[in-house]
Structure 1
Amino acid sequence: MAAHRSWLLVSFFLLEVLLLEAAKILTISTLSGSHYIVMNRVSEILHGGGHNVTKLLYGTTHLPGFGKEKPPYRVINWYLPEDQQKKIDNNLLLLSEELALGRFEHHTIVKIHRHFGDLCNHLLSRKDIMEFLKNANFDLVLFESIDYCSSLIVEKLGKQFVLFLAFQLGFMDFELQRVPLSYVPVYGSGLTDRMDFWGRVKNFLMFFDLSRKQREILSQYDSTIQEHFAEGSRPVLSDLLLKAELWFVNCDFAFEFARPLFPNIVYVGGLLDKPVQPIPQDLENFITLFGDSGFVLVALGTIAIKFQTKEIIKEMNNAFAHLPQGVIWACKDSHWPKDVTLAPNVKIMDWLPQTDLLAHPSIRLFVTHGGMNSVNEAIQHGVPMVGIPFFFDQPENMIRVEAKTIGVSIQIQTLKAETFARTMKEVIEDKRYKSAAMASKIIRHSHPLTPSQRLVGWIDHILQTGGAAHLKPYAFQQPWHEQYLLDVFLFLLGLTLGTVWLCVKILGAVIRYLSGARKVKQT
């Protein structure tokens, strides 16, 4: 029966695709690293769904394994002049290093958005690109929700748009501002959905702190808005995000805490999943050496890899040497300290087929930075994790991993070989972690529609219906005091106090009258 129902749902979405004419869709990608990977996949899926996709891409990608094959959709690259680009690249490198070392995180993020605000100013000044986008007459635009410049581009174009959130939904709770704080942890709070009294107090206060920080971030685009929008028609950046027809979120309840969702929010966790390919023979030969012990996969992300210090590499290498498993580690030869001897059970590689290795039957553990794409891939294949989070959403992701017993995390600042080795052995040997990872895998795989089918199906739905006005709650248009019924509360409080005051006054008057009547009678 379940299989029949799933087939009917799939058939329904396929029928919608066949009946719908190909739409002209613009995807925008101005962020690099994992963000590029996600937007590339989204563009591929929409193209495969029968739509005419054009992607506006800032610069080019230098990620290993990407850029070798020409994408099936149209790509328009835009660049800065070489001298400006070099200056911006150096600035970003310094800011990324600040984040990796844990210094002044919010202050650094503000500076990063100031950088993106300047970059946005350059893009909006490119008349050739803006004119092309206007004349192309796209039916729909899709971009990342943290790519605030794209919101301004769409406002200029006057087009309907869809947002893609590469992180957990809590990252954008400030923009949505409709959060039950009693059990939905605020981003950055370090809390789970099971809060005691003091946890709820902390969560409540941190919501206002997050709001303050987000306002400071959005203000970095004020000068760009003033320059490119006429006075009287200048948009408020936070209001622009509420105009989105749909929000696609790059996770699901196999990972995220259960929480209420608006009808126009769709979870598509596992979107990057692709058919598993055989791994190269040299990797297979290495894994075979360790027999039933299996192997550990280590990949700390494209940015974090750059900032692995000699001390961190040394401690990790010493920890791996104590494991009976083989270790396949994404670490460039150029970053390896010359005075550190590679452990005999460790193989380092500049690039590795992460998804294919996570699907390998001999994998026992995934050591990760806790980025959303990596966590999603581990869940997809039921692999327990040890996380070494660096920055951004990574610590928050690992809180959810720990809460669901899929793994544990270690702070990079306190990473030592002995405790790291002990932690890895615990996660590998304690069956609770593997069982929880497999349970999350079942939740992910048992959904009646794949993430790709959900993405294409919902895009087709709003194209057919002319938008998603029927999915947007009226709350998006209400002022905050109405949303939280403060006006009702104050009215009822005033009415209650007024009634009590009137009753007291009447009672006092009656008492005085009776007292006066008694005195007259006595005389």
Structure 2
Amino acid sequence: MGIVFWMFSLLAVPVLQSAKILTVCLIGGSHYLLLDEISHNLHQRGHEVRMLLQLGNPVITGFSYAGRADSYQMSTWFLGEKYIKDYNGWFLEQQTQFLLGRDNLTNFLNFMGHISYQCDKLLGDKEMITFLQTERYDITILDAFNPCSFILAHKLGVHYIAFYPGTLNGPLSIALPSPVSYIPVFSSQLSDHMNIWGRAKNLFYSFLAPVGQELVWSTFRDVAERHLESGSPPGGLEELHQGAELWAFNTDFSLEFPQPLMPYTVLVGGLLNKPAKPPEQDLELWISDLGEVGFIVVTLGSMVSSISVEPLLVELVAGFSRIPQHINVRMLWEVINLQCLACRYDSQRWPSHLDRPHNFRLVDWLPLNDLLGHKKARLFITHGGQNSLLQAVYHAVPVLGIPLFGDQFDNMVRAETKGLGLTINPTHITREVLSSTIQTLIQDIRFKSTALSLSRIHKSHPVPPALRLIQWVEHILHSGGGTHLRPASLAHPWYQRYLLDLVLLLSLVLLGPVVLSWTFCRSRNSRDKHKKIH
């Protein structure tokens, strides 16, 4: 696959003279893995790439951010042991709340409050900012999930490309055509086929979305005011979003609901997908010993390994134990973050009274891509992260989603609507529901058939996602920016964009004479009555 990729790359548009590119990763976790892949691919293309990486983020606890040998450069920034310890403690408590089904806007705004505090400290690091300014980058590729990345790009005075690690309905203010009749609003947990009540809910969420965006930006406004010479942008987060030369999304229409796009958007979902390699010897031996028996891959993210929510763990284990022998599967359970390539399972948190069923193996880490690509993989039980689902699509493995927080609920709605799998809310998990759902997904051939169809769609795109992104980045560099991709409507106020000013004008023109006539007639009738009285 790698040879084919670079052969294709050489046949594409001529490589530009090496550009200086800064990639910005201030969160970590799967965000880091995506930006690491982007940075490496751009370096392989011949560009001079440096990543600014913030260390100490608990999203991917224990990961070694050593970078890649003979690849891009890296500058790391760290806030200090004391703050990171306190922050990790707070984040651990939030994970417990997620598993108990308590994911809400208040928790998210608290998270953004921490991110804005970190942003203030980073932008106040004169040594780091001066170093980045003197490097004079040609373009910045930033993590568009974090508003701080946009503020940083403005402070550096560098044009930027926004890479969003999720689906199209995440960033509200990039002004994509989004009719609420069939395009679900973020967090609505709706599909693109809505009944009248679904459309009513979607409309309601569309009114709430700008309020949510303003609340998010309010946590960063003071930071922007302190660190930008021009102060906080008058248009807030919307102005920062619309200043991007290009928006690249970690999604693909094999999984995404079809919708209109704009010239400044490109879909590059599947950057982490690779052909499977043989697993390491111990896992390969375990799989070989299964004979014709298949296996189920279970990974629910760092949440389950970092905290102890014993009732949930008991139901999961009991549910796995109830799978009948005639189903012919075994469980390979990794209770750590899907993307955490160096984490370890905290065995001390495993309840001493809870036996491990005979039909599953508990591991501290598993090579997800290689196992999903194994011919004996029958099912993938996942928390519904975007990268997880894209890898399931790539390898044509049906999924059982147990979403925990954020966009994972919307992601699983897409997967379920497409026919890739089924979903169980973590608060609704019982051993009976879990066991019966697993049996349905394995025994009903329609799920595997749909997974194969989605995989063909994903793989048959004429340009691989990594090369697609590289070509667009080079197009922006070669053309001097993305102004030619942005329609004039982005500069218009929202009421002009939706023709509300025209509606008001037409209302005045059409209704004005009616109102005047009615007022005149009423006044005349009043005078006539007055004359008759006298």
TM-score w.r.t. the length of structure 1 is 0.90
**Aligned match of 2:401 in 365, 387, 390?**
387
Asked whether the equivalents of residues 99 and 108 of structure 1 are also in contact (C-alpha less than 8 Å), the reply is no
Residue-by-residue CA offset, 1:427-480 (whole Å, 9 max, x unaligned): 111011111111110110010000011010100111100011111121211111
1:113 aligned counterpart, secondary structure: helix
2:300 alignment counterpart: 300
Contact 2:247 2:265 in 1 (8 A): yes
**Equivalent position to 1:326, from 327, 330, 348:** 330
Structure 1's 499 and 10: CA in aligned 2 closer, same or farther, altered over 3 A? farther
**Distance verdict in 2 for CA 1:312–1:99, change over 3 Å:** closer
Q: What secondary structure, in the 3-state scheme, does the structure 1 residue paired with 2:169 have?
A: helix
2:301 is matched by which residue type in structure 1?
A: G
2:232 and 2:355 mapped to 1: Cα distance? 63
Q: Does 1:335 align with 2:349?
A: yes
Map of 1:43 onto structure 2: 39
Q: What is the rounded CA distance, in whole Å, between the counterparts of 2:177 and 2:425 in structure 1?
A: 32
Counterpart of 1:49 in structure 2: which amino acid? R
Which consecutive residues of structure 1, in runs of 5 or more, have no partner in the other structure?
1-6, 509-523
Indicate if the aligned counterparts of 1:10 and 1:449 stay in contact, CA closer than 8 A.
Answer: no
Give how far 1:402 is off: 0.8
C-alpha separation between the residues in 2 aligned to 1:13 and 1:504? 74
Report sequence identity in percent. Answer: 35
Corresponding residue for 1:261? 261
3-state secondary structure, aligned to 1:169: coil
1:270: which partner in 2?
Answer: 270
Q: Which stretch has the larger CA shift, 24-33 or 484-493?
A: 484-493
Corresponding residue number in structure 2 for 1:221:
220
Structure 1 residue identity aligned to 2:31: H
Partner of 1:107: 106
- Contact persistence 1:28–1:55 (CA under 8 A): yes
The answer on 1:58 being equivalent to 2:57 is no
Note the 1:429-508 alignment, pairs <5 A: 429-498=443-512, 500=514
After TM superposition, the structure 1 stretch with the greater mean CA deviation from structure 2, 121-130 or 296-305, is: 296-305
Q: Aligned partners of 2:453, 2:191: CA distance in 1, in Å?
A: 19
Residue 375 of structure 1 deviates from its aligned partner by 0.5
Which residue does the alignment assign to 2:361? Answer: 347
Residue type matched to 2:155 in 1?
K
Name 1:29's counterpart in structure 2. 25
Instruction: Decide whether aligned partners of structure 1 residues 222 and 88 sit closer, same or farther in structure 2, where only a CA change above 3 A counts.
Output: same
1:123-156 C-alpha deviation (Å, 9 max, x unpaired): 0110000001110000000111111111111111
User: Which deviates more from structure 2 when the two are superposed, residues 172-181 or residues 100-109?
Assistant: 172-181
Query: Residue deviations 1:72-93, cap 9 Å, x none?
Result: 1101011123223322332333
Equivalence for 1:363? 377
After superposition, the Cα gap between the structure-2 partners of 1:335 and 1:46, relative to the gap in structure 1 and judged at 3 Å, is farther
Aligned 8 A contact 2:177 2:260 in 1: no
Residue 452 of structure 2 aligns with an amino acid whose one-letter code is M
Report the counterpart of residue 16 of structure 1 in structure 2: 13
Name whichever of 267-276 and 283-292 sits farther off. 283-292
Q: Deviation of residue 12 (structure 1)?
A: 8.2
- What number of residue pairs does the alignment pair up? 501
Decide whether aligned partners of structure 1 residues 322 and 225 sit closer, same or farther in structure 2, where only a CA change above 3 A counts: same
Distance in structure 2 (CA, Å) of the matches to 1:183 and 1:398: 17
The corresponding residue for 2:239 is 239
Residues 44, 72 of structure 1: 8 Å contact kept:
yes
Task: Kindly provide the CA deviation profile for residues 368-421 of structure 1, in whole angstroms up to 9, marking residues without a partner as x.
Answer: 000011001000111100011100111110001111111001111121111101
Gaps of 5+ in 2: 336-344, 523-534
* AA of the residue aligned to 2:315: E
Moved more, 333-342 or 56-65: 56-65
Matches within 5 A, 1:349-428: 349-428=363-442
Deviates more, 1:487-496 or 1:33-42: 487-496
- Residue type of the alignment partner of 1:328: L
> What amino acid is aligned across from residue 356 of structure 1 in structure 2?
D
Contact 1:218-1:238 at 8 Å conserved across structures: no
Secondary structure of the 1:288 match is helix
Paired position in structure 1 for 2:341: none
In structure 1, what is the Cα distance between the partners aligned to 2:69 and 2:99?
A: 33
Q: Return closer, same or farther for 1:68/1:491 CA change in 2, 3 Å cut-off.
A: closer
Find out whether 1:158 has 2:157 as its counterpart: yes
| Post-superposition offset of 1:249 | 0.6
Residue number in structure 1 paired with 2:525:
none
Give the CA deviation at 1:175: 4.7
1:252 paired residue number: 252
Question: Which range is displaced more, 372-381 or 305-314?
Answer: 305-314
* Counterpart position of 2:207: 208
2-structure distance, mates of 1:311, 1:496: 65
User: Within 2, Cα distance between the matches of 1:282 and 1:162?
Assistant: 43
- Give the aligned partner of residue 91 of structure 1: 90
**C-alpha distance in 2 between matches for 1:490 and 1:10:** 57
* Secondary structure at 2:422 match in 1: strand
Change (3 A) 1:420 1:233: closer
Q: Could you say what secondary structure the match of 1:128 adopts?
A: helix
Task: Tell whether the 8 Å contact from 2:400 to 2:421 is kept in structure 1 after alignment.
Answer: yes
What letter is aligned with 1:457? Answer: Q
